């Protein structure tokens, strides 16, 4: 598994200790979320369906979807990378019509972030991700000694300014 060539811990330290950096990130976040968010589309039934799915994901994730989106944007602003894991499960009993997953046994019930500074990527010879590993802190509670690993199809990697041949996007604060 390949670690990031960028020192994300140093970026965290800069955001936590340097008032100018912290203020810049806060202003960037405010401007980004100033108008809020909404789903728009020509098909009103599809838009309604997406809002309904988000309501069910909020129940499964036990947090507002907006909080999740803000956390994703914070990761992107700080690190130019965000790693989102798809959690699958069966929610058909809560949904008025049957849901069928495409290319999977169960539907997506929620999304969770992996802390960017802890991510390692396993790539094949064609430079495509095969798996993502979370290198956890040894002081963090974990039910076992192994670091969590997810297959590439379970992780969404959002990134800015990714150089050719690199696995990670280049942070603005590097």
pLDDT for 7-58, tens place per residue? 999 999 999 999 999 999 999 999 999 999 999 999 999 999 899 889 988 9
pLDDT for 58-79, tens place per residue? 988 889 999 999 999 999 999 9
pLDDT for 75-112, tens place per residue? 999 999 999 999 888 766 666 666 666 666 778 888 99
Q: How far apart are CA 113 and CA 79, in angstroms?
A: 13
Phi, psi angle pair for 162, to nearest 5°: -85, 120
Q: What is the pTM of this model?
A: 0.86
- Written in H, E and C, the secondary structure of the chain is CECCCCCHHHHHHHHHHCHHHHHHHHHHHHHHHCCCCCCCCCCHHHHHHHHHHHHHHHHHHCCCHHHHHHHHHHHHHHHCEEEEEEEEECCCCCCCCCCCCCCCCCEEEEEEEECHHHEEEEECCCCCEEEEEECCCCCCCCCCCCCCEEEHHHEEEEECCECCCCCCECCCCC
pLDDT of residue 109: 85
Residues in CB range of 77: below 8 A, 6 or more apart: 25, 28, 29, 32, 172
Strands 119-123 and 81-89: unpaired
């Amino acid at each position: 598994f390949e670690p990031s060539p960028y020192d994300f811990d140093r970026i965290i330290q800069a955001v936590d200790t340097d008032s100018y950096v912290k203020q810049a990130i806060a202003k960037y976040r405010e401007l980004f979320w100033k108008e809020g968010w909404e789903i728009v589309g020509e098909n009103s039934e599809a838009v309604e369906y997406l809002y309904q799915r988000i309501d069910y994901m909020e129940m499964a994730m036990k947090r507002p979807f907006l909080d999740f989106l803000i956390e994703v944007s914070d990761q992107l602003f700080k690190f130019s990378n965000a790693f989102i894991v798809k959690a699958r499960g069966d929610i058909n009993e809560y949904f008025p019509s049957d849901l069928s997953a495409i290319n999977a046994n169960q539907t997506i019930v929620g999304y969770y972030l992996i802390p960017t500074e802890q991510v390692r990527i396993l790539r094949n010879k064609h430079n495509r991700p095969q798996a993502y590993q979370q290198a956890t802190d040894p002081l963090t509670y974990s039910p076992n000694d192994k670091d969590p690993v997810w297959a590439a199809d379970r992780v969404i990697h959002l990134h800015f300014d990714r150089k050719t041949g690199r696995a990670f996007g280049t942070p603005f604060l590097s």
